[in-house]
Chain A
């Protein structure tokens, strides 16, 4: 990645600072005052020492007052500067976290799926890493520049050639910010990737814990993680060495500047040659050196900050990419109202393909009349789940349209409806529906307004879950203690609590025993509204008034051509 691309990467993160303009200005002022105070302190001290040695005159009370005042001021300013800049940075990070969540909420599930462990690593780890960028970069670089200019001007007044040495040295020091930048960025990329991979592996192992334990995979997973940590440690060692090396080079340059200033001022003081007349009192020499050091140190600090940024480039880019993820469904510009009364669902020449596969659906059409109960049949993998997902607007089709149809025949494309209004009308029970951490009541009420407990209990009774679970029971993440059948029934109950007009169901009866399957089928049959339910089971499909079939497109169709026509909106 080139320097320009890196700068662009960080540039994309700058807009997050926009609401912090005042705080940034405050941070700059405090940082500058603190750095100038430190420079003044060392120059004053050196000045007093120089005069004491050469002229044998002690500093007066003014000096003492100034110095003690500066020490105290500097203490307060140091703390203040850190406080202001960090508080600012954490506000920005909190804002970025929410921006990232919004982006994921618009774009997940993407057609090309991203591992949640990776996404979580970005949302938590990478954002935290950017603390350095937001807390230590913009205002601090400005402060360093100010201090450099001030000390350069002062040095130029005292002895122009010393200022020249200082300027040359500072330019060299600034140049080191670009030394090994490419290598540092590559190391940062590698570290970022390793962190994501470790996170994904961990999430995988925790999510498949039953399999991991059953097949005795834990020792292997642990060994792999330890090995990965070892490799990561080797990479971070390289990063440390690079940053140490450029810091070392800077130190050598600073030393050279000190030597240069000593040399030129010694010459100016007439020490090195007997002939020249002294243009500089030896008493000023220590102050001049302190001044030169202050100027070069400011530049050194700035260069160190820039060096530390290189490895963060990868994190910056990942976060910026995440925030800019393309949405999987488009938001309507002028939302249309959902018609009142019963709603039907119409598929008109719908095509859809997952990112790297051949099309799952091609020009598929079907019509579900308002109030009608329709079963969706087809072999495993034929695209039943895709049809249901399109009707639920988890994605937009790549061609064709899905419409909600009122009893009077008015058709509104789902892409033209505001998301909230759409979710009020349509509910989905997915094959992989998830129960969330929290009580059963929390779960049932997700996305709905308040409902009385009696109503919730009545719905639980209807799905045959009245007996074995209470509303206050903690379900745990993914409903850990519940069997697949129990989870499916609770997910159905959660959809019913929403009182939808269209109920979309994907294979909910798959894992139920015959008795419960009968109950659930009856619940769906008795549902007062439109139903579209995918199932591969004849018994389940037999309950429906009508069954439509989904067939995978013939394998000889060309996915490449199809994708070219409808550029895939992948989310990675």
Chain B
């Protein structure tokens, strides 16, 4: 018997499902006991030569079998419900923990690892929760009960059975630590392979172009073999449990048989009693055998539990929908931080327009870096005219965007919109390499669910200069976009992202190199749109293209994390 505390606590949060699945399991067990009694009765009736009793006993057996079928169906439904709810809770919390800004800048995190935990890891807990936990409860209640019954009939048989049950249940705990340790290796191997598989699938075109398919194959093969070895090791330890259980069960039954035979030969017990002792002894091990079977089905899934714990799938606070501590305006004003997105789905901006975005004395340094990426940065962007930031690659533009969006927490300085702290939901972004979701063009455009209707969708696409291309797609707005938008060209993606940003109705629009993937004609259209939008919203554009900067009244030059003003 192995107790995984985390999963027991999760199961205990659904007491009705837990109780009903356990109670029904005990009811099923009772029908087994009743059947044993009925069989013993029928056999002694055969021996006594009482045909009436034989028939009655057989009818009883059939009735019990039907009752058991019904009870076990109800039990399965209850148990599956329990497992489903726990999986749902775990997945919700693990996903919430995965979709956080900290992941954006962490070079150690791998999407494939997270994918494995969120899907296979969470699903792996099901067998333990829905089957094993009720089975443990059954062992705890049913085995002692049968031993007591046996003791009434034959104390020596009861003693033998009790000893065997104890061995079967507690014997495997001797190598619990070993299983836990090997389990960690197994899950590490699974995650590592999963990460490499996803990465190589995503980058297969690059791998082929580099001629690195065979190198990648060798790496994956090494990972795959490591996983296989780790699986075999954890399995050997886990299967020893099965062997010990089997030894105890068979040994216990033989011991009970020996006692019964001795009783029969010495003539102390009636025939029916002897059969009953034997059948009860066998029934005493039924819960133990079930426990062992469910262990076998579920133990590999348990190796994911430490991984899930690490992600935060068992942290209650996050999962309960407890509001993320909202930043108190005064406190936030002091350092400009504490902006976290607790937005409701599709959270529309509080106000669709704002006057001025102010950044003052902003400073930031990546953990472990030697110097600041951004230091002493001041910036004022107003509604009415486009603001532009120029600067060489790697001068801190991406970092500045992430600071504005609240994905990074500044070391110093503050960022305000009309005097209050800027929030993520005030900003719509068009990044340099925008990512689209797998889904239709329409779903991608109306990501926040705020678009008023078809007319607005069309207008936004026209403004972004992508309408004609969308209409040329096989199903127009309902064309399915491939993963990450890879079925569209870079330019198309960028203009779709611009249309998406326009449709989000947010007071601040951040645009990173909006013309980088466009030809001259289209670039001019997009710029005209940005100038027009800048009359209603605060628009900040990062660009170093002379043609994009032409006609922009204020161009700020970002250099090594500082801004210099240059008015054209």
Q: B205's contact among A200, A286, A430, by CB below 8 Å, is which?
A: A430
When distances are taken between beta carbons in the complex, the residues of chain B under 8 Å from A431 are 490
Interface digits, A336-352 against B, CB 8 Å rule (1 contact, 0 not)? 00000000000000000
B47 close to A282 (CB less than 8 A)? yes
Max chain A Cβ within 10 angstroms of own Cβ: one of B43, B83, B390: B43
Choose from B72, B115, B221 the contact partner of A117 (Cβ within 8 Å). Answer: B115
- Whether A202 contacts B79 in the complex (CB less than 8 A), given A113-B486, A468-B394, A511-B516, comes out as no
Would you call A507 an interface residue if the criterion is a C-beta within 8 Å of the partner chain's C-beta atoms?
yes
Which of B235, B394, B434, B448 contacts A217 (CB under 8 A)?
A: B448
On whether A380 and B393 interact (CB within 8 A), knowing A203-B115, A233-B87, the answer reads: no
Complex CA–CA separation, A113 to B482 (angstroms) = 6
Contacting B at CB under 8 A, from A209-240, are 209-223, 225-226, 229-230, 232-234, 236-237, 240
Contact of B343 among A216, A234, A379 (CB under 8 A): A216
Contact call A120/B197, Cβ cutoff below 8 A: yes
Does B427 lie within 8 Å of A214, measured CB to CB?
A: yes
Interface flags for A306-322 (1: CB within 8 Å of B; 0: not) read 00000000000000000
Which residues of the other chain, B, contact A480 by a CB distance below 8 angstroms? 104-107
Q: Determine, out of A69-77, A151-159, A169-177, A400-408, the stretch whose residues face the partner at the interface.
A: A69-77
Beta-carbon contact of A380 and B489 below 8 Å: yes
Tell me, rounded to whole Å, the shortest Cβ–Cβ distance linking B557 to chain A: 11
Q: Is residue A525 contacting chain B, with contact meaning CB distance below 8 A? A: no
Structural contact, A485 and B394, CB atoms closer than 8 A: yes
Chain B 19-44 near chain A by CB (<8 Å), digits 1 or 0: 00000000000000001000100110
Question: In the bound complex, do residue B264 and residue A56 qualify as a contact, i.e. CB atoms below 8 Å apart?
Answer: yes
Within 8 A of A (CB), among B96-135: 96, 98-101, 103-112, 114-116, 118-120, 122-123, 126
Give, as a whole number of angstroms, the nearest-CB distance from A179 to chain B.
13
Interface string of B423-459 (1 = CB under 8 A from A): 0110111011111111000000001100000000000
List A contacts of B407 (CB < 8 A). Answer: 210, 213
Known: A198-B119, A233-B85, A436-B203. A204 touches B99 (CB 8 A): no
Q: Give the residue name and chain of the B residue nearest to A485 (CB).
A: B393
Do A195 and B119 touch (CB < 8 A)? yes
A237–B77 CB distance below 8 A: yes
Residues of B within 8 A of A335 (CB): none
Docked-complex contact B405 and A380, CB < 8 angstroms: no
- Is residue A149 within 8 Å, beta carbon to beta carbon, of the partner chain? no
Do residues B274 and A507 form an inter-chain contact, with CB atoms below 8 A? no
Of A94-102, A137-145, A451-459, the stretch lying at the interface with chain B is A94-102
Whether the pair A226, B88 counts as a contact (CB closer than 8 A) is: yes
Which residue of the partner chain A has the closest CB to B480?
Answer: A356
Q: Which of B195, B204, B469 has the most CB of A within 10 A?
A: B204
Surface stretch bound by B, among A19-27, A80-88, A182-190, A409-417 = A80-88
What sequence of 0s and 1s flags, for each residue 247-271 of chain A, a beta carbon within 8 Å of any chain B beta carbon? Answer: 1110110011011001100100101
- Other-chain contact of A105, B80, B207, B247, B483 (Cβ < 8 Å): B207
- Give complex CA distance A263, B208 in Å: 71
Residues on the B chain within 8 Å of A207, using CB: 111, 202, 435, 483-484
Asked if B356 is at the interface of the complex by the 8 Å CB criterion, the answer is no
Q: Is there a chain B Cβ closer than 8 Å to A48's Cβ?
A: yes
Residue of B nearest to A426 (CB): B209
Q: Are B119 and A513 in contact (CB under 8 A)?
A: no
Q: A381-B489, A513-B391 are in contact. Are A200 and B438 (CB under 8 A)?
A: yes
Nearest B-chain residue to A509, judged by Cβ: B516
- CB contacts (< 8 Å) of B513 on chain A: these are 484, 511
Within 8 Å by CB of A380, from B43, B296, B522, lies: B522
Interface hub of B91, B110, B436 (most chain A Cβ within 10 A):
B91
Residues in B whose Cβ lies below 8 Å from that of A53: 47, 264, 271, 274-275
| Total A-B Cβ pairs within 8 A | 461
- Scoring A56, A385, A437 by chain B CB atoms within 10 A of each residue's CB, the highest score goes to A437
Residues from chain A with a CB closer than 8 A to the CB of B202 are 116, 207, 434
Inter-chain contacts of A285 with B (CB < 8 A):
43, 46
Give every chain B residue within 8 A of A52 (Cβ-Cβ).
260-261, 264-265, 274
Assess the B88–A244 pair: CB atoms within 8 A.
Answer: no
Query: How far is A213 from B204 in the complex, measured between Cα atoms in Å?
Result: 27
Question: What residues of B have a CB within 8 angstroms of the CB of A214 in the complex?
Answer: 405, 424, 427-429
User: Does the CB pair B198–A203 fall under 8 Å?
Assistant: yes
Q: Does A486 contact B (CB under 8 A)?
A: yes
Q: Tell me the complex Cα distance, A210–B99, Å.
A: 9
Docked pose: A201 CA to B267 CA in angstroms = 71
Q: Give the most central of B79, B405, B437: most A CB within 10 Å.
A: B437
Whether A394 pairs with B208 at a CB distance below 8 angstroms is yes
B494: shortest Cβ distance to chain A, in Å? 10
Question: What is the CB-to-nearest-CB distance from A264 to chain B, in angstroms, rounded to a whole number?
Answer: 11
Closest to A515 in B: B392
Q: How large is the interface on A (under 10, 10 to 19, 20 to 34, 35 or more residues)?
A: 35 or more
Cβ contact within 8 Å between B209 and A211: no
CA gap between A263 and B54 in the complex, in Å:
8
- What's the nearest-Cβ distance from chain B to residue A289, in Å? 8
Interface centre among B431, B438, B486 (most CB of A within 10 A): B438
Contact B486 A424 (CB under 8 A): no
Contact indicator B345/A219 (Cβ below 8 Å): yes
Q: Which of B65-83 contact A (CB under 8 A)?
A: 65-66, 68-69, 72-73, 76-77, 79-81, 83
Q: How far is the CB of B56 from chain A (nearest CB, A)?
A: 12
B405 to chain A, nearest CB (A): 6
A277 interface hit (Cβ, 8 Å): no
With A222-B92, A252-B65 known as contacts, the answer to whether A474 contacts B107 (CB < 8 A) is yes
With A203-B198, A215-B447, A271-B51 known to touch, is A71 a contact of B76 (CB < 8 Å)?
no
Task: State whether the Cβ of A446 lies closer than 8 Å to any Cβ in chain B.
Answer: yes
Which residue from B247, B262, B275, B429 sits with its C-beta under 8 Å from A75?
B247
Complex contact B207–A510 (CB within 8 A): no
Whether A392 sits at the interface, judged by CB under 8 Å, is yes
A54 and B47 form a contact (CB under 8 A): yes
CB distance from A290 to the nearest CB of B (A): 10
**Which residues of B lie under 8 Å from residue A356 when comparing CB positions?**
474
Query: Beyond A78-B246, A90-B231, A216-B343, is A427–B209 a contact (Cβ under 8 Å)?
Result: yes
**Binary A-proximity of B210-221 (CB < 8 A = 1, otherwise 0):** 111111110011
Q: Are B200 and A101 in contact (CB under 8 A)?
A: yes
A216, A245, A266, A419: the one contacting B448 at CB < 8 Å is: A216
CA distance A377 to B427 in the complex (A): 35
Docked CA distance A513–B389 (Å)? 12
Chain A residues whose CB sits within 8 angstroms of the CB of B100 once the complex forms:
213
Contact A434–B203 (Cβ < 8 Å): yes
Whether A49 sits at the interface, judged by CB under 8 Å, is: yes
Q: Is A128 an interface residue (CB 8 A)?
A: yes
A272 within 8 A of B: yes
Is B7's CB within 8 Å of the partner chain A? no
Please measure, in the bound complex, the distance between the C-alpha atom of A64 and the C-alpha atom of B35, giving whole angstroms.
Answer: 29
The reply to whether A423 and B209 form a contact with Cβ atoms under 8 Å apart is yes
Q: Does any Cβ of B come within 8 Å of A124's Cβ?
A: yes
Task: Given A56-B267, A214-B428, decide whether A220 and B486 contact each other with a Cβ distance below 8 A.
Answer: no
Residues of the A chain whose Cβ atoms lie less than 8 Å from the Cβ of B47: 53-54, 271, 282
Expressed in whole angstroms, the minimum distance between the Cβ of B460 and any Cβ of chain A is: 15
In the complex, A200 Cα to B202 Cα: how many Å? 12
Question: For residues 485 through 519 of chain B, which have their beta carbon under 8 Å from a beta carbon of chain A?
Answer: 486-487, 489-492, 504, 513, 516-519
User: Is the Cβ of A380 less than 8 Å from the Cβ of B491?
Assistant: yes
Query: What residue of chain A has the Cβ atom nearest to residue B198's Cβ?
Result: A120
A210 lies within 8 A of B212 (CB): no
A42–chain B nearest beta-carbon distance, Å: 8
Minimum CB–CB distance for A60 against chain B, Å: 12
6 closest residue pairs by CB, A with B: A233-B84, A423-B211, A476-B107, A485-B393, A447-B212, A216-B343
Q: Known pairs A225-B118, A226-B91, A251-B65. 6 more at Cβ < 8 A?
A: A52-B274, A82-B296, A115-B438, A216-B344, A219-B344, A220-B346
13 contacts between A and B (CB under 8 A): A79-B239, A83-B239, A115-B438, A209-B103, A219-B345, A222-B95, A226-B88, A233-B81, A234-B84, A241-B80, A282-B47, A430-B205, A434-B206
